[in-house]
Amino acid sequence: MNTGTLQHETHTLLARLGVPESSYTQGDLVVHSPITGQEIARVAVTTESAAQHAIDAAHHAFLSWRTVPAPRRGELVRVLGEELRAEIETLGRLVTIETGKLLSEGFGEVQEMIDICVFAAGLSRQLAGLTIASERPHHRMMETWHPLGVVGVISAFNFPVAVWSWNAALALVCGNAVVWKPSEKTPLTALATHALFERAAAKVGNIPSGLAALLIGDARLGELLVDAPQIPLLSATGSTAMGRAVAPRLAKRFARSILELGGNNAAIVCASADIDLTLRAVAFSAMGTAGQRCTSLRRLIVHETIYDDLITRLKRVYLSVVVNDPRDRNTLVGPLIDARSFTAMQQALDQARSAEATITGGERVILDGAATAFYVRPALVELPAQADVVRRETFAPILYVLKFRDLNEAIALQNDVPQGLSSSIFTLNVREAERFLSASGSDCGIANVNIGTSGAEIGGAFGGEKETGGGRESGSDAWKQYMRRATNTINYGTDLPLAQGVTFDIEK
């Protein structure tokens, strides 16, 4: 592995993206690339007073931005999309260096940002409310959607920039300002994205300063957003533990929240499944991004009649898949983000062993020149029965495998975890597919047929139930959460009829 140039390459990419040199060479926050484990940058942490100032400035920017016509606001997001398109390779490569994702996934992450910008620019001409039949003569009733205020965004390391764009593109066309605190593990792609936003704002012109702010730091800065009275909506993506900490604090001040938390995603493979297609879908969902997607496949529930065939083939894939530098085109599994993640993986495997699991893979892979990086061979873990370790999300490439006899049993197993993000069924039987998608089927926010659990498109609303937090981001009508709704009733007659036939006649 060529390690010598990684820091240099990072700095070259950041410079090209318009980030000032002092932003990545000076500061207390040391950034390591998971590809080699080496230091690649030093970044200054935002002080609490600077963060407070940014929140106040964002609120001030909101006061004028909310009066700009929505299609004009959409123009800013459209131009942001163009800036991202022009730099897809640069920013995508930086995503790979900072997170360890494969290059195609780094580019894919930026493509997702472009897609949501396109979506939001179109949406800016479609923000629309209902007209509702009034029970009173000569009355009109309608809904109006208004901008909400400053939207706080807290994001996780594994989608270091896409999550900001899902929130920011919608929030901005809806007339809001945005203050973002990315993961402390991935500040570089955030700095680069912020620079591209500033570039787009300069091109469009007349954009209030401070409309999109960036705070660099750890959970303490996140808490500042959680408690800021100027922030009526906080969108927080991360672990369920983070959600448990922020949700009560937000509730205490009656703030809105979009919580996008941990997943524990399952696929059911029925006897009729197309095994070749299933194998490909399972391999990508479970091993892609080294198991570090919120939608990564963590549980495979296989019909007993095809179990041996599927698992034998899957084992071969697990033992042969290329674990290597994610910049290498042949690599399918890159590194874990850090040592903590590796330890959590090994602890989960130890627990599975004590539940009588048979484990294929799971060991550390040491690459030349990357002794302080954490590469692992993905683990396929066959279990005789559901175990506690299966009910937890371990953010690493571990796939637990269980056997089933009838579909009711499989659906019960799949729903028998605290999380409810993504799920799939592999079947060619329409009854099984529809049963899985029905009210008594999968209890997740995402339920797929003959597609893996990971890899959502931006057109649909994204999010999950139960301990995944209940939030919805991205497409469909997710925009409504970023606005406040006013119900307006207008009397254009000369009488004053009251609703529900109530009378209240006063002497005139």
Using rule CB under 6 A, residue 239 touches ligand NAD? yes
Using rule CB under 6 A, residue 465 touches ligand NAD? no
Using rule CB under 6 A, residue 218 touches ligand NAD? yes
- Give the integer Cα–Cα distance in Å for 2 and 6: 8
Closer residue to ligand NAD in complex, CB, 155/448: 155
Alpha-carbon separation of residue 116 from 65, 283, 460 (angstroms): 20, 27, 11
Closer residue to ligand NAD in complex, CB, 98/260: 260
Q: What's the closest the beta carbon of residue 116 comes to ligand NAD, in angstroms?
A: 14
Which H or E run contains 356?
none
The 3-state secondary structure of 390-432, one letter per residue:
HHCCCCCCEEEEEEECCHHHHHHHHHCCCEECEEEEECCCHHH
Q: Which of 54, 103, 273, 294 binds ligand NAD (CB under 6 A)?
A: 294
Using rule CB under 6 A, residue 144 touches ligand NAD? no
Yes or no: say if 23 and 193 are a contact pair by the CB < 8 Å rule. no
Tell me if residue 260 is catalytic. Answer: yes
By CB under 6 A, how many residues form the interface with ligand NAD? 30
Site for ligand NAD in 72-111 (CB under 6 A): none
Q: What is the largest CA-CA distance in the chain?
A: 93
Q: Which of 96, 111, 289, 468 binds ligand NAD (CB under 6 A)?
A: 468
Residues 6+ apart with CB under 8 A from 461: 445, 472, 473, 474, 475, 476, 477, 478
Q: Which of 149, 232, 238, 452 binds ligand NAD (CB under 6 A)?
A: 238
Yes or no: say if 398 and 294 are a contact pair by the CB < 8 Å rule. no
Alpha-carbon separation of residue 81 from 20, 68, 164 (angstroms): 22, 19, 13
Set 75, 87, 260, 382: catalytic member: 260
Closer residue to ligand NAD in complex, CB, 50/245: 245
Tell me if residue 21 is catalytic. Answer: no
Site for ligand NAD in 151-210 (CB under 6 A): 154-159, 181, 183-184
Alpha-carbon separation of residue 486 from 130, 232, 436, 458 (angstroms): 11, 16, 37, 27
Q: What's the closest the beta carbon of residue 468 comes to ligand NAD, in angstroms?
A: 6
DSSP state of 301: E
Set 87, 294, 444, 467: catalytic member: 294
Using rule CB under 6 A, residue 395 touches ligand NAD? yes
Yes or no: say if 106 and 13 are a contact pair by the CB < 8 Å rule. no
Nearest partner of 276 among 453, 414, 456, 450, judged by Cα? 450
Using rule CB under 6 A, residue 445 touches ligand NAD? no
Residues 6+ apart with CB under 8 A from 331: 102, 322, 323, 324, 325
Residue with tokens 């109530």: 502
Using rule CB under 6 A, residue 453 touches ligand NAD? no
Using rule CB under 6 A, residue 245 touches ligand NAD? yes
Q: What's the closest the beta carbon of residue 263 comes to ligand NAD, in angstroms?
A: 5
Using rule CB under 6 A, residue 441 touches ligand NAD? no
Q: What's the closest the beta carbon of residue 236 comes to ligand NAD, in angstroms?
A: 6
Q: Which of 6, 161, 191, 261 binds ligand NAD (CB under 6 A)?
A: 261
Chain positions contacting ligand NAD, by CB under 6 A: 154-159, 181, 183-184, 218-219, 222-223, 226, 237-239, 242, 245-246, 260-263, 294, 393, 395, 421, 464, 468
Please list the active-site residues.
Answer: 260, 294
